[in-house]
Structures are given as structure tokens and as C-alpha cells.
Amino acid sequence: MKKNTWTSKTLLMTAAFFLVGTGYAQAGQPLVSTDWVASNLETISNPDQTEIRLIEVSTRENYEQGHIPGATHMQWGAETFDPTTDHMVLSLDQVERIMGKIAAPPETHIVLYDGDDKTHHVARVYWTLKYWNYDNVSIMDGGMHQWQNQQRPVSTDGLDVTPRDIEVTYPPNTAIRAMYSPDITYALANGRTTLVDSRSESFYKGEVYSLDKWVRNGHISGAINLPTMKSMNQDRTYRTTEELADLYAGAKITPDDEVILYCDTGVLASHAWFVMHELLGHKNVKMYDGSMREYANRFDTPMVPGIVAEGVPAHPNDQTPAHAAEGEDKGDLARLINN
């Protein structure tokens, strides 16, 4: 009976999100198509309205080289993480300042797209806005890559928006954010929460890791690996809802499971959260904001294999470097991932 119930829920979920999965969603859905954005360019290009605000998430250079007409800009890094922390979520005053600069109060329909082929970056901003109680947020499926492939118009003119004071609701939506304490420690203790590593397999196995981000390799003990970029098509659009449901079902993750997602710095994990929570309707899903940047830089957390990188003290108070296996090339271990 339980199996049949879950199958029925899956079918209903697939039907409900079918338009999203095929890229033809309308306003109010997690995904909107390039067609939808194109049909709303007149509104989007009006700097005085606050009905729809189109935001490109990219570097300043990318935005200035060309963007969708009417799009404002959010600079990746400087405006997407709290600069007083190590890649953690923006604070209340920071969100109000950044969104106020582009006159985008919480009642505005926010439409995000990536300007530099990094779909996980824009998903991180989506998660941040959802955390800060922006209810009407969408991602343009395919990003700038799809827009340009369809030979749609591109502009180098910025939108002359008059900044305004905005008020964001407090408290934030803590139901979607996992913290090391109590969430991760409790998950490790109870064994009932599924920990999902959203990075590539090589990072999960500890074959590579980023020394500028953490000092121990591998994954959280007990975590499974499901690289979130398997959710994407070659043209940088999301796979259909049916394909996404099969992907997570294949990892034995059901819609009712309690799940905590993590990656390097909470970026790929935000992408996985977007897929699971927003496209597939899994409600018991949290994103571990600190991810490996926090977890793997502690020395009291279980990891597999958890080897300390060459030249890094084995303990914070130990000044004797711990050495990697003989003949291991530190340069290979220090390969970076754009996360």
C-alpha cells in the first residue's frame, strides 16, 4: 500500500510540475521560459515598475558585455554572500540594501538568470531570496546561453532604476537552512536524515579537493553522492520533471525523506535544493549553508577518507605539517571547482 501511495503522489507531482519541467511555466512558477521573458520585455524594461524585476547573476564584466534588455545586475560573490563571513547567507540588512538598490521589494516577481553559464550560481541566489521570504521568484530556464542561442536581443545599457527603501520580513525561513549545530550533528547521531553530497564524484571520494576552501578531503560520513549537474541538459536547461524524479528515485530518495544537501560552499547544494524542493516538491529538504567550507575545516567531524592535505597541521594547535601519501602531487589535490 505504501508503494502504491508513493507512486500516486509521484504521478500527481509530475502532472502538477509538467509545464515547469518542459520549460513553459508562467509567472509564479520556479522556472519561466525564454519565451515568457521575451513576451514581458516591455514591462521588464520599464525602470519605474516593480511588478517584474529581471536580474542577471554574473560578474560585472559579463553583464557589461551584454545582457537581456531591461535586466538589472547582481554581482556574483560580492552581492551573493555575507562578506563578514566565509561564504554564508546574506544578512537582513544586506538583502534589503542589495534588493533596494534595484527597487525589488518582496512583492515583486523576481526573475533570475545566469549570465556566465553557471546555473548553480543563480540557484544560490534563488535559495537566498526564498530564505528571506521572497515568495515570487523564478529562474529563466537556459539562462543567457539559451537566450543568445535563440538569437534574441542583447543590450549593453543598464536599467536606470531609482533605489528605494524596502522592508524584508523577519525572521527568515529557517526551515530550508541547515546549520552545523543542531542540524548536522543531529543527523549524524540519529541516522534517519539522508545527507546528500551534491558535488562531483571525484570530490565525494576525496580524489580532489580545494585547498583554498578546506583542509580535509572526502565527504561527510554516511552521505550519499548525487552530483546535481546531472539535473541539466546539454543546452543548460533543466531536465523534465519525470527525468528529475527518476534521478532522485534512483538514489533511493523519496518525497517524504528528511534530506540535508551540501557541497563546497552551499552553491551546488542550492542547485540541488532548487530541483528537489521547488521542481519535485520534496518538502523536508534543507541546504547546509556552511557545507564543506565549514565542516571539513573542523578537526572533530567524521569524514571519509578525511585525509589532511600536505602542509596543513593535523590539529589546529599542532605546527607539524601532516603529509599526504608519498609521491602524491599537491597540485593535483588542489584542483578547483567553480563553486
Could you list the active site residues? 263
How many helices and strands, by DSSP H and E, does the chain display?
14, 14
- DSSP classification of residue 257: S
Are 171 and 265 in contact, with CB atoms under 8 Å apart?
A: no
Residues recorded for the chain: 339
CA dist., res. 126 & res. 294, Å (int)? 22
**DSSP states of 269-300:** HHHHHIIIIIIS---SEEEESSHHHHHTT-SS
Q: Compute the chain's Rg from CA coordinates.
A: 21
Are 253 and 272 in contact, with CB atoms under 8 Å apart?
A: no
Give the CA distances from residue 87 to residues 82, 199, 253, 267, 316, in Å, rounded to whole numbers and listed in that order: 6, 17, 28, 9, 21
Cα angle 129, 134, 137; round to 5: 80
Is the omega angle on the peptide bond into residue 171 within 30 degrees of 0, that is, cis?
A: yes
Q: Which helix (H) or strand (E) holds 43?
A: helix 41-44
